[in-house]
């Protein structure tokens, strides 16, 4: 089995960091674009897609800036992070995604993020 490597994707979003943060950090916000259902209990986020359930812990967050999650059943060094990046000159807002995938699954993981961010665009109306 090949090792998972870190990769980063960036998506421009027309949103304020404050509004965007609620979509990446709160169960209610996450369930509108990232998963079908998100429940937060005992410091654990339970994400549900159709019939797949995955649990994650939030490792860290910075208000209106970033959240970092770790899938409970994933490799110890793996996590996924969503960071809000704002250009100082233009004030453009982007969401930077850091995730891990093997060479075999990288294309698929990227496609999944592309799809999720498309949902996020439509939810924010951006």
Give residue-wise pLDDT tens across range 36-72: 999 999 999 999 999 899 999 999 999 999 999 999 9
Of 8, 27, 1, 26, give the one whose Cα is nearest residue 94.
8
Specify the number of domains making up the chain.
1
- On whether the pTM is more than 0.85, the answer is yes
Query: How many other CB atoms are found less than 10 A from the CB of residue 111?
Result: 10
Instruction: Provide the residue range defining the domain that includes 51.
Output: 5-124
Distance CA 120, CA 2 (A): 31
CATH number at residue 34: 3.30.530.20
């Amino acid at each position: 089995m090949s090792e998972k490597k870190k990769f980063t994707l960036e998506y421009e979003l027309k949103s304020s960091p404050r509004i965007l943060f609620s979509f990446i950090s709160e169960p209610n916000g996450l369930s509108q674009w990232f998963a079908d259902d998100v429940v937060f209990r005992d410091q654990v986020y339970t994400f549900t897609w159709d019939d797949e359930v995955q649990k994650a812990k939030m490792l860290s967050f910075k208000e209106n800036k970033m959240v970092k999650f770790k899938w409970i059943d994933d490799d110890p060094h793996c996590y996924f992070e969503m960071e809000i990046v704002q250009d100082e000159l233009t004030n453009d807002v982007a969401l930077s995604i850091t995730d891990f995938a093997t060479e075999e699954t990288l294309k698929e993981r990227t496609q999944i993020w592309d799809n999720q961010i498309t949902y996020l665009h439509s939810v924010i109306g951006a």
